[in-house]
Structure 1
Amino acid sequence: MSYYQHPLDVTGLPSWKALEEHRLAMQNFNMREAFQADPARFEELSVSCCGLFLDYSKNLITPETRALLVNLAREAGVEQAAHAMFNGERVNASENRPALHTALRRPMGDNLIVDGENLMREVHGALAQMTDIVGRIHNHLWRGYNDKPITDVVNIGIGGSFLGPQLVSEALLPFTQQCGVRCHYLANIDGSEFREVTANLNAETTLFIVSSKSFGTLETLKNAQAARTWYLARGGTEEKLYRHFIAVTSNKQAALDFGIREKNIFPMWDWVGGRYSLWSAIGLPIALAIGMHNFKDLLSGAYSMDQHFLHEPFETNMPVLLAMLGVWYHNFWGAQSYAFLPYDHYLRNFVKHLQQMDMESNGKSVRQDGTPVSCGTGPVIWGGVGCNGQHAYHQLLHQARR
């Protein structure tokens, strides 16, 4: 029986017990001594794939620790669970749905049949729709109510409809297209943010993207209504409102009622969680900034990592190793929070997105069958730009008694 139909208590597994014993043996572990005793420690505890390099040799582990963590992953059924998710099984048991954000990254020609339908046709149909609109905007064929080309795009969304696209747009700023548009993000329901975002915009050349699965999220809908009022107050008309508003939603009728034309409504499927949705039409502002060809390269890179995760042995599998290190620290060393400190300016909002990815995913108190969990499910994620942190909270991290 699949794990999501009959969840298990991992703390009762032999591999968990073995890790508890190993943790006691690691009580006096010393990092400097570990490197001195094993000159090959760096080579042994590092891996590269898909243009990424992972050095995990500076963690409180030994090769034996890795072997025990990998055994836990196997005994807990991680491999079977991964394949079930990628194959479209209803791993979201509480909502009886698949979790198929990975399908958004699969190449043309792939087939993924769920309930008798090939979902890849829908995925690549949406990509074709994105390609068309991005091309029209970049080539100045999409024009506002006064027939002026679009120069600015405001993405209205919150949560996954905001954090992911904003992060990627900033991270890939060097790839911004000269023919592209300036992208702005609006999430906070506080009117101060709306006024700040629109202060230097021209209603004649501004396009709003309303990203909301239900088209009823309070913050997003209030900001969309404010944008509509702003547009009309500056000379825009109801008749030509369709030239200034695009929607990404699963509630097509609500978007139509708002005044958005059907051909300007992009799909958002119930089998894609919001926090994983930047690979879908939610990523439209990314594509408008960096160009559709670069957006497709982004999808291709994610697909490469998906394949690595599915097929690489756990001992050299980046996502599995990082996940199991999280289990190791949180449940066996008592680490209650993780600090992430990016030093690259373009990754300054990395932590915000990671907080949602990790804490919204793992913030659970019960298993899929409703029984209480018996171990820690995840830490508090926090942090910020590393060089700033060095002159703020690093003092406490390195020297304070806790």
Structure 2
Amino acid sequence: MTSPIDATTTPAWTDLTALRKSFSPDLRGWFAADPERVESLTFDLADLRVDLSKNLVTAEIRSALVRLAEQTGVAERFAAMLAGEHINTTEDRAVLHTALRRPADASPALVVDGQEVDHDAHAVLDVLSAFADRVRSGDWRGATGKKVTHVVNIGIGGSDLGPVMVYEALKPYADAGIQARFVSNIDPTDIAQKTADLDPETTLFVVASKTFTTLETLTNARLARDWLWERLAAAGVDVATEETRTEAVSHHFVAVSTALDKVAAFGIDPANAFGFWDWVGGRYSVDSA
């Protein structure tokens, strides 16, 4: 892959700069003057139909933007991304959020830095899906045998904002029997408020931290664990020994992490730790590196 091209040095950039100086937006006027505007600015791209006609763009501007993409090698860099080349030059990493949407039997198989990406990604996705089904169906039970009614996600940054966005967007289609809450603020008031009315016997915590060392996340996870033990004890559940406390945690905590030793030390069964990879950047995935 060639080095990035400075867009401002290209002829297309010069053309766009000139167009900007003479640009006078008039959407109604454009439609009145050009009966073919919708047709000329509408395109089919795979499963998408893209209509640019209602945007402040003309055919001339569109053509200049296409030339800019061509002159800066956008298509080449897109192909490099899909192939797993290290286009994240700052951290010397591949950028493969797209791999999480590849079919399991995609051909040719994607192998990056010795990792069979398709196989590994779908192995985790399958485990995640099976776990979600267990929680929804009631097969996953808390320490006292009760079904989960509330899930509390503990994370920060991309491991908080992404889940919040997805939950709020898809709430109308969610299982009405399970509600989610989100904790990211290291101020203990946040988690205290989010758990104040919860039943420890029906609450499941998801701790999202790749290294399982993130200060804010681990601080809140420990507070959640203390809350669980205290509330279970108040309900008459035996959490007096290290063994019974660890057993309780294994029923009420799962992790999104690859640091299985730290996950286990916290009390979470490593079998209930769902991994992810540094080639999925935070801005591209709900839980990511």
TM-score band, normalised by shorter chain: 0.7 to 0.9
Counterpart-to-counterpart distance in 1, 2:250 and 2:75:
47
Cα distance between partner residues in 2 of 1:128 and 1:60: 43
1:2-401 superposed matches below 5 A? 2-3=1-2, 6-26=3-23, 28-47=24-43, 54-110=50-106, 111-178=109-176, 181-235=178-232, 237=239, 238-240=245-247, 241-278=249-286, 282=287
**d(CA) in 1 for partners of 2:170 and 2:44?**
21
Residue 210 of structure 1: CA displacement? Answer: 0.4
The alpha-carbon distance between structure 1 residues 200 and 50, as it changes in their structure 2 partners (threshold 3 A), is farther
Please tell me the residue identity of whatever aligns with 2:80: A
Unaligned runs of 5+ in 2: 234-238, 240-244
CA distance in 1, matches of 2:13, 2:225: 56
1:190 deviation in Å?
A: 2.4
Q: TM-score, normalised by structure 1?
A: 0.64
8 Å Cα contact 2:5-2:73 kept in structure 1: no
Cα drift, residue 195 of structure 1: 2.0
SS at match of 2:285: helix
SS at match of 1:17: helix
Single out whichever of 207-216 and 37-46 deviates more from structure 2.
37-46
TM-score (norm 2): 0.88
Tell me, in whole angstroms, the C-alpha distance in 2 between the residues paired with 1:203 and 1:181: 14
- 1:138 Cα offset (Å): 2.1
C-alpha distance in 1, partners of 2:46/2:18? Answer: 35
Larger Rg: 2
Tell me the secondary structure at the aligned position of residue 8 of structure 1.
coil
Whole-Å separation in 1 of the counterparts to 2:47 and 2:151: 31
Q: Is the CA contact (8 Å cut-off) linking 1:207 and 1:245 kept in structure 2?
A: yes
Letter in 2 for 1:239: T
Superposed CA RMSD: 2.0
Unpaired segments ≥5 residues, structure 1: 284-402
Task: Tell me if structure 2 keeps the 8 A contact 1:250–1:270.
Answer: no
**Cα distance in 1, alignment partners of residues 161 and 266 from structure 2:** 24
Q: How many residues align?
A: 275
Greater RCO (Cα-Cα under 8 Å, separation 6 or more): 1
Q: Deviations over 1:318-349 (max 9, x none)?
A: xxxxxxxxxxxxxxxxxxxxxxxxxxxxxxxx
CA distance in 1, matches of 2:281, 2:219: 22
Distance 1:20 1:102 in 2: 33
How much identity, in percent, do the aligned residues show? Answer: 43
